[in-house]
A and B are shown apart, each in its own frame.
Chain A
Amino acid sequence: MNIYVRSRLFRSNLINNLICFYSTSTPEVIDQNDRVLIDDSDETTARENEIEKKRNKSGLSAAHLNIMNGRRPYETPKHLSHLTVKHNRKLYGKYGSESGVNPSLCWPTKLDIQEALEYESVAFPYTIREVMESAALRKQEEKLKIQKRETDIAAKYAKLEQWKKELRDKLAKKAAEAESAKIKKERLVEEVRRHFGFTLDPRDERFQEMLAKREKEQRKLEKQAKRDAKEKMMFAKLQQKNVEIKDTPKR
């Protein structure tokens, strides 16, 4: 802007001098209000415009010429967006105080500040310390969880050998039982076979009958054996008691 004004002044001075040359009027008066003088005569303005036109060898439009010389392209807004705060800020940022924009526009309005504050209160709901504390807490919790699990595993690991042994014993016992049952059955079958004197089909009725009989006998025998054992045990117990009774009075 400054340059533009200066060139105009310079030119008007030139013209003034010319006028002085012809009319010998006082140059001070003309200097004071040169604008009026230019406005006065259409001829001089026309001439000046012509000079200006000839001087612009680049052929750029007025707006582009302004931009090239670091001035705002035009004073009057050409578009709705030229009225906005954003555009005015840009003008100030690019062309400085010469752009004539009020620099107070550069800061957000009070409403904007309020909105920004509200946005931040939502976007960042906790202070750094709060977040730090919660992060530390979370870390501690995770650590505790891991620790608990580890102690749990350690305790279980200590018992592992015992459990293994128990399982092995259980399996062995089961296998032994199955084995004994099998032997018993085989013996029965063998006995039946010996009774008949020939190999009989196990599905045969006679065989089944015989088998049932044998089993009954076996059971009887087992019962008898159990009873005997019981009696024996009772007897032993009684004897022991007797011994104890005999012993106590001596003491």
Chain B
Amino acid sequence: MGSRQIVEKSLTLLRSLPRISLNNIRDNPGSKKTQKRGRGQHGGDKHGSGNKGSGQRQNFMRLGYETGNNPFYLRVPQEHYYRGHHHRRQYPPLSLLTLQRIIDTNRVDVTVPIDIASIVKTGFYSFFPDQKHFGINLIDEGVDIFEAKINIEVQWASEQVIAAIERNGGVITTAYYDPHSLFLLRNPKKFFETGQAIPRRMIPPPDAIEYYTSAENRGYLADPDQISEARLKLAQKYGYKLPVIENDPKYNMLCERKDPRQIFYGLEPGWVVNLKDECILKPKDEELKRFYSL
């Protein structure tokens, strides 16, 4: 009898109580552990660390150290395949699958040319020019599902990727940017707020020039005639019919390219863009004009 009364009483109490929420909860009893490490003359003793040596002093040897022996990891002769890798140009990958997903979710506008600035803007591509990153390497993951017709500019692309983009009637260009330009492309707003004039893009270093002048890689310094020839050749190699760009309603967009000295689409070197006043300052001084047109 008594227990039932208690149950009923507690149930009525529970009904009148507010619903459980963040402001009236607390930890379960015993869920928080108290400090185990005893203090005082004998309370602490060795605190569970054992007696003598590395264990007690918690000064463990570095990994692989064999107390004066020639360590195993140094006993085997090495071959330095990656020597100097931190000086080489890095091209972090972006897959065609991700690119398709970016396009599907309307993160980039396919009615205008796509370059590294618009890719970085989507947030799907992490890019750090200070870590020797030199731009996008478009890789062939998702090469079969890719369906978008785009005018894209990347920094590195394989043959399959070029074929996948051109099969859909798109255009791909590989272009080199020096690190300074890449910093601007990564965050154009920040650059415009510094109030500097847009600089020129530098020419590629000698070891990269071969890549960016060859029509097979759709380099930005290659001869356009050779590129159209290479497009046809690639279409024959992979067995697809090359769509005729000239008859395309998007012909003007597909033909849009940057000047080898240009960093942003439509903005020339030497201009100052002011975001507050929404105006562009164009130099009229002869010397400035000469410098920026070099």
Q: Which residues of A contact B (CB under 8 A)?
A: 70, 88-98, 101, 103, 106-108, 110, 113, 116-117, 120, 123-124, 126-128, 131-132, 134-135, 139
When distances are taken between beta carbons in the complex, the residues of chain B under 8 Å from A90 are 193-195
Q: Which residue of B lies closest to A114 (CB)?
A: B291
Kindly provide the distance from the CB of B290 to the nearest chain A CB, expressed in whole angstroms: 9
The answer for the CA separation of A110 and B287 in the assembled complex, in Å, is 8
CA A85 to CA B73, docked complex, whole Å:
54
Question: Are B209 and A93 neighbours in the complex by a CB distance under 8 Å?
Answer: no
Cross-chain contact B194 with A135 (CB below 8 angstroms) = no
A93 touches B193 (CB 8 A): yes
Within the complex, the shortest CB–CB distance from A2 to chain B, in Å, comes to 12
Interface residues of B (CB under 8 A from A): 192-197, 202-204, 206, 209-210, 213, 221, 270, 272, 274-277, 281, 283, 285, 287-288, 291, 294
Q: Do B210 and A103 have beta carbons less than 8 Å apart?
A: no
**Neighbouring B residues of A135 by C-beta, 8 Å:** 206, 209-210
Closest 9 CB pairs of A and B: A93-B195, A96-B276, A89-B195, A96-B277, A92-B195, A93-B193, A106-B272, A131-B209, A131-B206
Residue of B nearest to A103 (CB): B281
**A98 vs B192: C-alpha distance when bound (angstroms):** 16
Inter-chain contact B193/A96, CB cutoff 8 Å: no
Q: Which of the listed residues A123, A127, A139 has the most CB atoms from chain B within 10 Å of its own CB?
A: A123
Bound together, the chains give a CA A89 to CA B196 distance in angstroms of 7
Which residues in A have their C-beta under 8 angstroms from that of B275?
Answer: 93
- Contacts A96-B274, A117-B291 given; indicate if A107 touches B195 (C-beta within 8 A): no
Q: Hey, which chain A residues are within 8 Å of B281, CB to CB?
A: 103, 106
Q: Measured between C-beta atoms, what is the minimum distance from A134 to chain B in Å?
A: 7
Closest B residue, CB atoms, query A123: B202
Query: In the complex the two chains form, is A126's CB within 8 Å of B206's CB?
Result: yes
Interface pair A128/B274, CB less than 8 Å apart: no
Of listed A98, A113, A127, residue having the most chain B CB within 10 A:
A113
Residues of B within 8 A of A106 (CB): 195-197, 272, 281
Smallest CB separation, A112 vs chain B (Å):
10
What's the minimum C-beta distance from A69 to chain B, rounded to whole angstroms? 12
A132 with B196: CB separation less than 8 A: no
Query: Is the beta-carbon distance between A107 and B197 smaller than 8 angstroms?
Result: yes
CB <8 Å contact, B194 and A124: no
Within 8 Å by CB of A93, from B202, B270, B274, B283, lies B274
Query: In the complex, A139→B206 CA distance in Å?
Result: 13
Say yes or no: B287 contacts A92, CB within 8 Å. no
Task: Please give, as numbers and ranges, the residues of chain B lying within 8 Å of A93 by CB-CB distance.
Answer: 192-196, 274-276
Q: How far is it, in angstroms, between the C-alpha of A131 and the C-alpha of B275 when the chains are bound? A: 39
Q: A89 and B203 in contact (CB under 8 A), knowing A94-B276, A113-B287, A128-B221?
A: no
Instruction: State A88–B192 Cα separation when bound (angstroms).
Output: 14
**What are the residues of chain B within 8 A of A107 when measuring CB–CB?**
197, 270, 272, 283, 285, 288
User: Within 8 Å CB of A88, what residues of B?
Assistant: 195
Cβ of A132 and Cβ of B195 under 8 Å apart? no
User: A70-B276, A96-B277 are known contacts. Are A89 and B213 too (CB-CB below 8 A)?
Assistant: no
Cβ of A90 to closest chain B Cβ, rounded Å: 6
Q: How far is the CA of A98 from the CA of B277 in the complex (A)?
A: 9
User: Closest Cβ of chain A: how far from B25's Cβ, in Å?
Assistant: 35
Q: Which residues of chain A have C-beta atoms less than 8 A from B285's C-beta? A: 107
New A-B pairs, 16, CB < 8 Å, besides A89-B195, A92-B195, A113-B288: A70-B276, A89-B194, A90-B195, A93-B193, A93-B274, A95-B276, A97-B276, A103-B272, A106-B281, A107-B270, A108-B197, A113-B287, A116-B291, A126-B206, A127-B203, A128-B221
Complex-state Cα separation, A113 to B199, whole angstroms: 11
Q: Are A91 and B195 in contact (CB under 8 A)?
A: yes
Which residues of chain B come closer than 8 Å to A132, judged between CB atoms? 209-210, 213
- CA–CA, A110 and B291, complex, Å: 10
Residues of B within 8 Å of A91, CB to CB, are 195
A88 to B288, CA, bound (A): 20
| Interface-centre pick from A91, A93, A103, A110 (highest chain B CB count, 10 A) | A93
B contact residues around A95 at 8 Å (CB): 276
Tell me which residues across on chain B come within 8 A of A120, comparing CB atoms. Answer: 202
Q: Is the CB of B193 within 8 A of A128?
A: no
Question: With the chains together, A95 CA to B281 CA distance in Å?
Answer: 15
Complex Cα gap A138–B108 (Å): 42
Is the Cβ of A113 less than 8 Å from the Cβ of B206? no
- Highest count of chain A CB atoms <10 Å: which of B193, B204, B206, B213: B206
Chain A contacts of B195 at CB under 8 A? 88-94, 101, 106
State A151–B27 Cα separation when bound (angstroms).
Answer: 84
